[in-house]
Chain A
Amino acid sequence: MTRKKMPPTVSFLKYLGLLSFIIGIVLTYISVKSYSLTVEYLQYFPSWFSWDLKPVIQEGSIFSAVFFAIAYLSSSLLYRFLPVESRNMSDNLMIKKIESESGEKYKEKNFSKNEQKFAEIIHEKLDSLSKQLDGARHDLFNLMLDINGIHSADDAQKSLDSLEKSIAIIKDLKKLKVDGK
């Protein structure tokens, strides 16, 4: 398992969301406590710091709501900016490479690369299948021309071998998966 560096936007949104959420919780705690313990609470802060914190304590619920909203927006945007491949679609942990490109461009490039690889494999398999079937047909034709000839047994065996190889290739094609698809 390798962990790749995330793009700066994703990292920024992740830390912004986390920080906003923590600040939201702290402000909620302060606003709840401030109704009853404002005086006691402020005595723990230095005078220069408590002056800045007063409006926060007084309007604590509004600020906490704002920070929770920022956290929510950050997480929503984070999910949008994450490439599809890095999302965990199964039960297993799956971390894949995230390139420093835009999401659409990355997806397009990755898709065409996979598609090209898939097409190459399919072409190779189909060429091989075509050769095997042609060989089977050729040997069977020779068998048909002279069924009691000196080569008949060999032709029949070669034709069957080619057909079995063809079946194996078709089974391989059925099993073929690219990136789990």
Chain B
Amino acid sequence: MKILFQRRSVSYSITKSEVTRVVRGEELDSIFEAVFLVRILDGHPTLLLEPTNLFPEINDAAVSPWTKPNYIFILQRDGDAGRAVFVDSFDRRLVYD
């Protein structure tokens, strides 16, 4: 099952099992435009990334200017540092593969 989400005018899909938690953007302080940010989430260091960093095949020209994200998807931990991606909006109805 997949979750459909949008970030900076680009639509993405991610496997449900990859996402462990959705956090609202306003719950995190000082989010600004950077290649990546590191924040402590649930007591673990977490890299906050733009989805374009996870999907390098996306053309930069298609991406709209940076905006503060409304949501953050915290992804499955893979190693010592966790990962999270910025999300503008997402569909809570899951899509079957």
Residues of A bordering B, CB below 8 Å: 137-138, 141-142, 145-146, 149-151
For residue B22, which residues in chain A have a CB less than 8 angstroms away from its CB? 138, 141-142, 145
Whether B16 is near chain A, meaning CB under 8 Å from some CB there, is yes
Besides A137-B92, A142-B21, 7 more A-B contacts (Cβ < 8 Å) are A138-B24, A145-B16, A145-B21, A146-B20, A149-B20, A150-B42, A151-B21
CB distance from B90 to the nearest CB of A (A): 9
Q: Which residues of B contact A (CB under 8 A)?
A: 16, 19-22, 24, 42, 92
- Among B16, B21, B24, B92, max chain A CB count under 10 A is at B21
A151 neighbours in B (Cβ, 8 Å) = 21
Whether B20 and A145, one on each chain, are in contact in the complex, defined by CB atoms closer than 8 angstroms, is yes
Output the least CB separation between B71 and chain A (Å).
9
Chain A, interface SS category: helix
Which chain A positions have C-beta within 8 A of B42? 150
Q: Which residue of A lies closest to B20 (CB)?
A: A146
A146 vs B21: C-alpha distance when bound (angstroms): 7
Interchain CA distance A150-B42 in the complex, whole Å: 10
Q: Can you list 18 A-B pairs, Cβ within 8 angstroms, ordered by A? A: A137-B92, A138-B22, A138-B24, A141-B22, A141-B92, A142-B21, A142-B22, A145-B16, A145-B19, A145-B20, A145-B21, A145-B22, A146-B20, A146-B21, A149-B20, A149-B21, A150-B42, A151-B21
B21 closest partner in A (C-beta): A142
In the bound complex, CA of A150 to CA of B74 (Å) = 14
A146 to chain B, nearest CB (A): 5
Report chain A residues within 8 Å CB of B20.
Answer: 145-146, 149
* Cβ–Cβ < 8 Å partners of A146 in chain B: 20-21
Give the CA-CA distance A77 to B16 in the complex, in Å. 75
Closest to A139 in B: B22
Could you say which residues of chain B place their CB within 8 Å of the CB of A142?
21-22
In the complex, how many angstroms separate the beta carbon of A158 from the nearest chain B beta carbon? 13
Nearest B residue to A150, CB-CB: B42
Distance in angstroms between the alpha carbons of A55 and B16 in the assembled complex: 104
> Measured between C-beta atoms, what is the minimum distance from A149 to chain B in Å?
6
Smallest Cβ-Cβ distance to B90: which chain A residue: A141
Identity of the chain B residue whose Cβ is nearest the Cβ of A141 in the assembled complex: B92
Which residues in B have their C-beta under 8 angstroms from that of A150? 42
> Nearest chain A CB to B97's CB is how many angstroms away?
16
Instruction: Determine the distance from Cα of A151 to Cα of B21 in the docked complex, in whole angstroms.
Output: 9
Bound CA–CA A142/B21 (angstroms)? 5
B74 to chain A, nearest CB (A): 9
Q: How far is the CA of A137 from the CA of B20 in the complex (A)?
A: 16
What's the nearest-Cβ distance from chain A to residue B73, in Å?
9
